[in-house]
Chains A and B, each alone.
Chain A
Amino acid sequence: MVDLSQYLPILIFLGIALALSSLFVFLPMGVSRLTGTHNPDAEKLSEYECGFPAFEDPRSQFDVRFYLVAILFIIFDLEAAFLFPWAVSLDMTGWPGWITMMVFLGELAIGLAYAWKKGALEWE
């Protein structure tokens, strides 16, 4: 039986932390209206691009390599997710468990070698 009661303090902590950080964001907005520092104008609210007007839409395109890194991260994070239960139960699964996991790791190592060879890990 899993003891879930220990998660309740985390939930309460989440509430308190959210309240604290919301306070930090919204309270100064109110205070600056009271103290009179709140004084926006069109130039002040334009985006900052080192003093020039923006050249193009910032969200138009980005490098595909970020996408590749994200995909690789998903694969290897999933691999780690398979390793976690194996790591805590190594004493119970013994040699068969160990050999099975080594086969799994070997397959993913081949995958990593392929991505490496293909140049998916390159940033020139």
Chain B
Amino acid sequence: MTQTFVNWGMTYDWAWFVATIAGILLIALPLMLAVAMIIYADRKIWAAMALRRGPNVVGPFGLLQSFADGLKVFLQETIIPSAANKGLFLIAPIITFTVALMAWAVIPFNSGAVLADINVGLLYVLAISSLGVYGVVIAGWASNSKYPFFSAMRAAAQMISYEVSIGFILICVVLWAGSFNLNAIVEAQRGAGLGIVNGFWFNLLLFPMWVMFLISSMAETARAPFDLTEAESELVAGYQTEYSSMSFALYWLGEYANVLLMCALNATLFWGGWLPPLEIEFLYWIPGFVWLCLKILFFFFIFSWVKATVPRYRYDQLMRLGWKVFLPLSLLFVVLVSGWLMFTRYG
């Protein structure tokens, strides 16, 4: 993109700057639009699973529902409870939403089509998703109210517990791909399965890791069946109980942006990212960007499907699954994967 602007007669530095800003807006604005549409899709999918219609009044097929909701919360009154710590109370949603946007900087949309092609892309994503905990904890604490505080404690414990197993699962992928760069990981999946299937999911050693990553990513983003942080029968609305207006909506936008990010990571790490599913010439006629979007939508459908059909976990079951099942299993698979690679590739 920089080259285009240079051809228009800019100096290289200016062209780079303009191209970067354009790239950022090209990620952030469609992402926010996608989040609005994905909330609508979510409601439609649950409705279809419950044999009803879902939103179908605002706009054709209810397509404008999310925008109507957005306008509604935008015009509502912002209430800051008198007991709350005002500064932190206002900073918390800013942190959550900023962090939800930031992680998208390193997701490759096509060969070379990535905003920041950093060598430690995967570590960056891990670091950014750890920062998401702060938005939640600060919100719960600053509200100075009992239920948001409980919810924030639960959310923090849940997120960090599953981050541990996600870390080890990522190590298995990195061992196989030999790099932290997300583009390199996608490239390493070219023809990974018998020279024809693009993706690590095909691999018998990595397939269980993919299943665990899918479940962990639901727990990490506090989606059903792990949505204990907003268990409305016990905790009202969770850590954002005291929020109102757009600050409340920012938590939902952030949550859905994180869900989309986790879907994108599922696609990028295990299902070949922007590569077509099979290594066949004519599949490359469709641009990589489209393949990535299709995979993200597919995983989002799975997330919605699970939310519509599976009952909620109890908190002790959730922690047991994280610490006693996923952590030992992912540790074992680090040993198995690295041992296998030593015998077959590096030994």
Contacts and interface: CB of A to CB of B under 8 A. Distances in A.
Contacts of B347: 94-95
Interface residues of A, number: 71
Nearest to A49: B146
B111 interface: no
Given A9-B115, A49-B145, A95-B347, A105 B335 contact: yes
Interface stretch (B33-41, B97-105, B195-203): B97-105
Interface in B20-47: 20-21, 23-25, 27-28
Interface in B305-346: 315-316, 319-320, 323-324, 327-328, 331, 334-335, 338-339, 341-342, 345-346
B76 A77 contact: no
B246 A102 contact: no
Given A38-B77, A45-B79, A58-B146, A94 B346 contact: yes
B341 to A, nearest CB: 6
Contacts of B164: 72-73, 76-77, 80
B94 interface: yes
Q: Is the interface of A mostly helix, strand, loop or mixed?
A: helix
Interface of B: 20-21, 23-25, 27-28, 73-84, 90, 93-94, 97-98, 101-102, 105-106, 115-119, 123-124, 141, 143-147, 149-150, 153, 156-157, 160-161, 163-164, 167-168, 171, 174-175, 178-180, 236, 241-242, 245-247, 249-250, 315-316, 319-320, 323-324, 327-328, 331, 334-335, 338-339, 341-342, 345-347
Nearest 9 A/B pairs, CB to CB: A123-B316, A80-B167, A47-B145, A21-B97, A58-B146, A73-B160, A45-B82, A28-B246, A17-B101
10 contacts: A9-B20, A9-B24, A13-B24, A21-B98, A25-B94, A31-B75, A58-B145, A83-B168, A90-B342, A105-B334
